[in-house]
Structure 1
Amino acid sequence: MSRAELRRLVEEQQQRLEAAGLVAGGTVAVRLPPSLGCIVAMLSGWRAGAQVVLLDYRLTTHEVGKAVARLAPQLVVEPVADVSGTLRGFFEVDTRVTPLRGGRPASTEHVLLQLSSGSTGPSKVIGRTAGSLLAEIDRYGRLEGFPRRGERTVVLASIVHVLGLVGGLLYGLASGAQVVLPRRQTVDGILKAVAAGSEPTTILGVPSQAAVLAAAQTPPQLPQLRRMITGGELVKAAVRDRFIQGYGAELGVMYGMTEVGVIATDLAGATRPGLTPAPGMRVRVEDGEILLGLPATPYVGLADPSRYVDGWLRTKDAGSFDEATGLLTVHGRLDSQVSIGGLKVDLSEIEASISALPGVTDAVVVHGTGIEAFVTVTEQAAFDGLAACLATRLAPYKRPRSLNLLPELPRTATGKPVRNTEILRAAVRSAAAV
């Protein structure tokens, strides 16, 4: 699609929004799957001078109702008919605009409101100003190796979440790099999207998508594929090696948050596990915690007042700086540290130990009544021998009290493993019932 055609569609949608009552300073929620309709609705809301609330289309009716009650948008743009398809990367949808009773105009200068992933607890309302989004787009433009005009970005990360939205869609529109949404996010669908153009191509996604591509038995030759860049969580070394060997392309990583976007990167996969802070980001480590320098709090409404103090946002991520290289290493969540019998235990260490065992494909470790592990494996024998393997690798007080087998781990809309104990236990009960 050309820019001229996109502008025409945005102008038409803007007229529909304004006819429904939207004015500058108003609020509009967009609840659409990745689609041209979603992009047009979001851009038209901004053109009208409104605050845009992005809601993931995969939310249930109950979850949407809670979000609408919490955020009180004046209008909602949603599909005319229900959409489905877990591996769809792009949808064709007809949209409708519905005025909402009790909707309120924007109370802050934020142009974008999003809900955090909620992987460890209740979602937070996160606001981004125009200046914040433009600053992040600028950071991407200053990253050596990120796609430029004349190149292509195949975006697998959802465009209603920060990586796909800013790193894929908005940066592509600003830089002139071509943005490609594959119709299906299967291995075949992704590789067809890469092969459809001869320009240098970068895949932008999450580690679970890199693992799917790395598992392909005989990947085709794709000389235009320069690299894949992932965000969200660490990529396992075995996945990284298989991807590089299979495609002859680099596998880079980014560390970021919904609150600010990209923070630090290793786009070529050359400094693992260290990352270089993105240009313009103020990053420091205090008492083992990563802190970010921001002009204002990114949170809207009720929030923990200790998260943002004196211009610094506490990320709750553990990290360290290498003074010699200036590289930042992210060690995991600080809230993954628990006390067992008076001894400090890092759940991420246990998780890494389990993930490294032969036959284990994924693992999540949480602390409920005790340490609990939830795993997926390639075969039953790997699970049967799990306790014995851990007995030789972990001290008794670090070993999980329960080991739970799942066909797949519950994940958030952004692909992160869910770390809510009750949700994980419910998944085990559901799997047992099946």
Structure 2
Amino acid sequence: MDEILLSGRSTDICFRLPEPVDRGTLRRLVVDAQARLGAAGLRPEGAAALRMPPSLAYVVNLLATWRTGAQAILLDHRLTDHEVDRALARLTPQVVVAPVRSGGGGLRIFVDVTEGVTGYADRPAVSGHAVIQLSSGSTGPSKVIGRTADDLVAEVHRYTHLDGVALPGERIILLPSTVHVLGLVGGLLHGLHTGVELVPPERLAGDAVLAAIAAGDSPATVLGVPFHIGLLASTRPTGPLPQFKRMTTGGELVPAAVARAFTDRYGVPLGNMYGMTEVGVIGTDLHGRHRPSIAPAPGIGVREVDGELWVSCPASPYVGLSDPGRWADGWLHTRDAGTVEPDTGLVTVRGRLDSQVSVGGLKVDLTEVESTVAELPGVAAAVVVFDGGITAYVQPAGPLSEEMLDKLLAERLAGYKRPRTLHLVNQLPRTTTGKLVRSVDALRTAAT
């Protein structure tokens, strides 16, 4: 991993934050961080939990962890203490890296961070994976996802064979979080490997993104999620942007009206990527020629089974007990509805088959939210659905108010996971066999 990510000339620029950070500086910072991690107790085959916002400190500690020969556990900095404590108890890292000071404001994409390292458990890592990610923040066995160093290296090489990715000497305007797979591999690791400059805008705002594009002469690809497309589509540029090469998006499907508004405004290709935390990039249409279809990425097999997309995956990516409903016999069951064209191999994703939804580009599992609501004191039963936003229907077991529910949930769930609407219902609808009804119409009726 070290040779893949930190090779090249010492004077090559890796980041512009907005000050340039070259490879020589990055290597020195990584070596220093490795010494601090070792002094705090990190050993080869151990694990370091990184609870940090996207920042140079996050990148340095991630690379230092791998250089040690240890596992990196990536914890989204927006998770609550309750969620983090559950994850740490399950994954038992040797050290935890977290900010002791940060600055720059809440809209900064890369934050100024001074980190602290504390010891946690004197144990080896729970698995041999190079990285652990928590899909939707759950610690259930089918939600803790591990990827090996070989798997990550293979995906980094896969990017180099994709037609339309940023090339050496170009720039990536980096918008998605580097804690999650699109920003981590498609942005950070691809950029470090190929010599593409990574340029996080100073703020998460349309004018700041356009300013980052205009700040250099080399071609620029904006990497983001559909939320960012909408942000740019509603921002009027103040002048020509000849550097703007294309925008590439991952995450949920982009509404056709938003895609049209973006391309009408900027006249550059709007590329699409489809992937999962478990396997990384699965397919792409980086020139926007086949929207909404994508072509499978090199080395990835995709098949359609009873309307569900299955993706080739040699080993189960899940840490702990493996659900055969999610992975079996070398195939990951994506729980995405879709089709595969028999003649061209093009894949069309139709949407989710299960309870996972996307909120502002971040995946949220409604089952996790529902379980958290149902476990609250004073709650007899709960159903959580997505009805224009995360909506919870709650049957009280005694005195209970929406304000109290919201307060309790704020202690247990990250802000993007919390229900935007809460309904207290005297009796939740059930089937004749006693199962809770999940029909949005039936739940709306019960609430009124």
Q: Does the alignment reach a TM-score above 0.5?
A: yes
Structure 1 residues 247 and 370 mapped into 2: Cα distance closer, same or farther (>3 Å)? closer
Match of 2:46 in 1: 26
| 1:291-345 deviations in Å (ceiling 9; x for gaps) | 11111100002342321111111111111111232210001112379xxxxxxxx
Match of 2:152 in 1: 133
**Corresponding letter in the other structure for 1:64:** V
Residue identity over aligned pairs, in percent, reads 53
Structure 1 residues 189 and 414 mapped into 2: Cα distance closer, same or farther (>3 Å)? farther
Q: What RMSD in Å do the two structures reach over aligned CA positions?
A: 3.1
Q: CA deviation at 1:39?
A: 0.3
**Corresponding letter in the other structure for 2:330:** G
Distance 2:414 2:295 in 1: 23
Match of 2:403 in 1: none
**Corresponding letter in the other structure for 2:26:** L
TM-score (norm 2): 0.75
TM-score (norm 1): 0.77
1:251 aligns with 2:267: no
Of 234, 254, 268, which residue of structure 1 is paired with 2:253? Answer: 234
Distance 1:263 1:95 in 2: 34
Q: CA deviation at 1:161?
A: 0.6
Q: CA deviation at 1:6?
A: 0.2
Of 329, 332, 335, which residue of structure 2 is paired with 1:313? Answer: 332
| 1:174-199 deviations in Å (ceiling 9; x for gaps) | 11111111121111111111111111
Match of 1:277 in 2: 296
Structure 1 residues 122 and 305 mapped into 2: Cα distance closer, same or farther (>3 Å)? closer
Structure 1 residues 4-15: aligned runs within 5 Å: 4-15=24-35
SS at structure 2 position matched to 1:374: coil
Report if the CA contact (8 A) 1:55-1:115 is conserved. Answer: yes
Match of 1:201 in 2: 220
Report if the CA contact (8 A) 1:117-1:123 is conserved. Answer: no
Of 110, 113, 116, which residue of structure 2 is paired with 1:93? Answer: 113
**Corresponding letter in the other structure for 1:9:** L
Report if the CA contact (8 A) 2:141-2:321 is conserved. Answer: no
Structure 1 residues 263 and 94 mapped into 2: Cα distance closer, same or farther (>3 Å)? same
Distance 1:202 1:11 in 2: 30
Of 54, 72, 92, which residue of structure 2 is paired with 1:52? Answer: 72
Of 37, 46, 70, which residue of structure 2 is paired with 1:17? Answer: 37
Distance 2:52 2:383 in 1: 39
Structure 1 residues 342-421: aligned runs within 5 Å: 373-374=387-388
Match of 1:115 in 2: 134
Match of 2:346 in 1: 327
**Corresponding letter in the other structure for 1:49:** G
Structure 1 residues 329 and 11 mapped into 2: Cα distance closer, same or farther (>3 Å)? same
| 1:270-290 deviations in Å (ceiling 9; x for gaps) | 101111001111111111111
Match of 1:386 in 2: none
Match of 1:387 in 2: none
Match of 1:154 in 2: 173
Structure 1 residues 117 and 369 mapped into 2: Cα distance closer, same or farther (>3 Å)? closer
Q: CA deviation at 1:164?
A: 0.3
Q: CA deviation at 1:107?
A: 3.2
Q: CA deviation at 1:163?
A: 0.3
Structure 1 residues 274 and 180 mapped into 2: Cα distance closer, same or farther (>3 Å)? same
Distance 1:99 1:180 in 2: 33
Match of 2:90 in 1: 70
Distance 1:116 1:65 in 2: 16
Q: CA deviation at 1:414?
A: 12
Structure 1 residues 372 and 57 mapped into 2: Cα distance closer, same or farther (>3 Å)? closer
Report if the CA contact (8 A) 1:158-1:414 is conserved. Answer: no
Report if the CA contact (8 A) 1:221-1:247 is conserved. Answer: no
Distance 1:248 1:150 in 2: 23
Distance 1:252 1:375 in 2: 26
Gaps of at least 5 residues in structure 2 are 1-20, 359-365, 371-381, 391-409, 426-448
**Corresponding letter in the other structure for 1:206:** V
Distance 1:7 1:66 in 2: 33
**Corresponding letter in the other structure for 1:93:** V
Q: CA deviation at 1:3?
A: 0.5
Report if the CA contact (8 A) 1:149-1:176 is conserved. Answer: yes
1:106 aligns with 2:113: no
Structure 1 residues 302 and 371 mapped into 2: Cα distance closer, same or farther (>3 Å)? closer
| 1:239-288 deviations in Å (ceiling 9; x for gaps) | 11111121121111111000011101111111011110011111111111
Report if the CA contact (8 A) 1:117-1:414 is conserved. Answer: no
Distance 1:255 1:426 in 2: 32
Report if the CA contact (8 A) 1:161-1:414 is conserved. Answer: no
Gaps of at least 5 residues in structure 1 are 338-346, 349-364, 377-409, 430-434
